[in-house]
Amino acid sequence: MSNNANTDTDTGVVYLVGSGPGDPSLLTVKAKQLLETADIILHDKLPGPAIIESIPESKREDVGKRAGGERTSQEYTNDRLVELAEAGKTVVRLKGGDPFVFGRGGEEMEHLAAAGVPFETVPGITSAIGGPGVAGIPVTHREHASSVSFVTGHEDPTKEGSAIDWEALAATGGTIVVLMGVGKLPAYTAELQDAGMDPETPIAVIERATRPSMQVAVGTLDTAVDVRDEAEIEPPAITIIGEVAATREHVSHWLEQTQHNRSELDTNEDI
């Protein structure tokens, strides 16, 4: 290989890959192939241990939180992707769920394009749809919800100039799926009630969807905080707000069997 990193033939490719919500059998065929063939995989913790530990240690680089708890900066990750590609590597940037749902995939793609690095995007099952799905909650339903909104719960809803208009969301009558919303759950559930949403509106909180330790807690907008605390829900978790959250009740006897099968699968897997 020549040392001229500026010619197309020498530059590697970066694949922005979604891992799905954590169950390795929910990786796409393409994601699995790329994990097996890439020279190096940059990841954070979100894809979960089963997927991450299936990658040989020598081929993975953690660009999530560092040992001290400090987050690797986005600039570092952006630059590292370019550096590795320019060294001729086939690089996978592995992200939990789908790369473009609150995943900063957009920023990375723009950076790669600006740097002239070839890239390809590989969608994954987002936790925002697949998570509720495996818990028996359809994000839309002909009788209960004709729209769905995906929002970040990371922001303080009472903050001046908050980017999320909870009042408008309350008025849609559709499903609201909150990502990164464990900590601020008291604030946004209160905000929605202040905006006139019925306190009896069903909610569900799903932690580590599709992983063996998945937990689902259900309640109402009014009891959401108690529900979260009683179940000791920790991130990563999603909150589903809307009539569809009650669907789970009607199908729960079947879901238990599915969860059982999933755990069996996991114990049978060498991961």
Q: Catalytic positions, please?
A: 44, 65, 180
Shortest approach of ligand SAH to residue 195 CB, angstroms? 22
In whole angstroms, what is the distance from residue 233 CA to residue 224 CA?
Answer: 11
In whole angstroms, what is the distance from residue 115 CA to residue 82 CA?
Answer: 7
Shortest approach of ligand SAH to residue 215 CB, angstroms? 9
In whole angstroms, what is the distance from residue 171 CA to residue 196 CA?
Answer: 8
Residue closer to ligand SAH (CB basis): 60 or 93: 93
Burial classification of residue 260, based on how many CB atoms lie within 10 Å of its CB (0-12 exposed, 13-18 middle, 19 or more buried)? exposed
Rounded to 10 degrees, the C-alpha dihedral 182/93/149/184 comes to 20
Residue closer to ligand SAH (CB basis): 40 or 177: 177
Residue closer to ligand SAH (CB basis): 12 or 238: 238
Shortest approach of ligand SAH to residue 183 CB, angstroms? 10
Shortest approach of ligand SAH to residue 178 CB, angstroms? 7
Residue closer to ligand SAH (CB basis): 11 or 179: 179
Residues that bind ligand SAH (CB under 6 A): 21-22, 46, 95-98, 101-103, 126-128, 131, 179-180, 206-210, 235-238
